[in-house]
Structures are given as structure tokens and as C-alpha cells.
Amino acid sequence: MKPAFRALLGLLAGLMTAVMIIALIETLGHKVWPLPAADGLNLRDPQVMAALMAKAPLGALASVVLAWCAGAASGAWIGFRLAGQPHARSVGLGVAGVIWLATGANLLAIPHPHWMMAGGLLGVPLSGWLVVRLLQARVASAQTPPSE
């Protein structure tokens, strides 16, 4: 398979994996820590959303940040592994970058506590970078011939 095609497949599979992991963890988090009822409220009003976020349980909010970071990490892992060399690093970081941009868009669209903003904007790229770094080290050690 051509390297460019593998890179594209890795990117798409990494993004799909990231979105599925984020959705799964957020769903589980909201089942464990239900969000406040929003019946009849205008969820497009930033003040209403800010009030709902202020009432949300800490666990529900923390699970969202965990979901973002875990999604970026798992997506970067899948992207790296499927892309193969020479594009593995770029694809893994690219997946984390797209998730980081989506996190930023979410943070702009919905008012979040400052700690969630910091956790998302710092944790998402950091988790993706760490996974890529660990995988690079693993690949490098596997390619190093054993010393006698």
C-alpha cells in the first residue's frame, strides 16, 4: 500500500477512534454524574449554558476533560500505528491537532469553567504528543540491532 494512502487511512481511522472514545467516556460520565435538567430552557443562550455548567457535578465536567484527552491519545495511537513510516509521527500529531481544534471550538461555543479550558487546551495536545513520543521510542528501540 502506498505511504500516502496509509497516512490518509491512519488519519481517518485515528479521528474516528478519537470521536468514538470521546463519545463513550462522555456518555459514561454523564450516566454516573447526571447533568442538571434543562427542560424548557434555551440552550443557545450563553447565560443559560453558563448557569447549567455551574450546576453540573464536578465528576461530569472532569469526565469530559478526561474524554478529550483519552480521545486524542487513542486517536493518535491508532493514526500512528496505521500510517506507518514515514508519516506515522505526522499522522499521530495531526489526529491530536484536529481533536485540539474541535476542543477549542467546543470551548468557544459553550461556556466552560476555566479549569476545563486549561485542561482541554493543554491536556489534549500533551496526551497526543506523549503517545506519539512513546510510540516513536518503541519503534526506534525495535529497529536498533541488539548489541553483543
For 5-39, how does the pLDDT look when each residue is reduced to its tens digit (9 = 90+)? Answer: 999 999 999 999 999 999 999 999 999 998 887 77
**Averaged confidence pLDDT in the chain:** 93
Q: Domain locations in the chain?
A: 3-37+51-142
> Cα–Cα–Cα angle for 39, 114, 105, nearest 5°?
70
Cβ pair 65, 120 in contact under 8 A: yes
Collect the ranges in the chain with pLDDT lower than 70: 146, 148
Cβ pair 100, 125 in contact under 8 A: yes
Q: Global pTM?
A: 0.89
Q: How many helices (H) and strands (E) does the chain have?
A: 5, 0
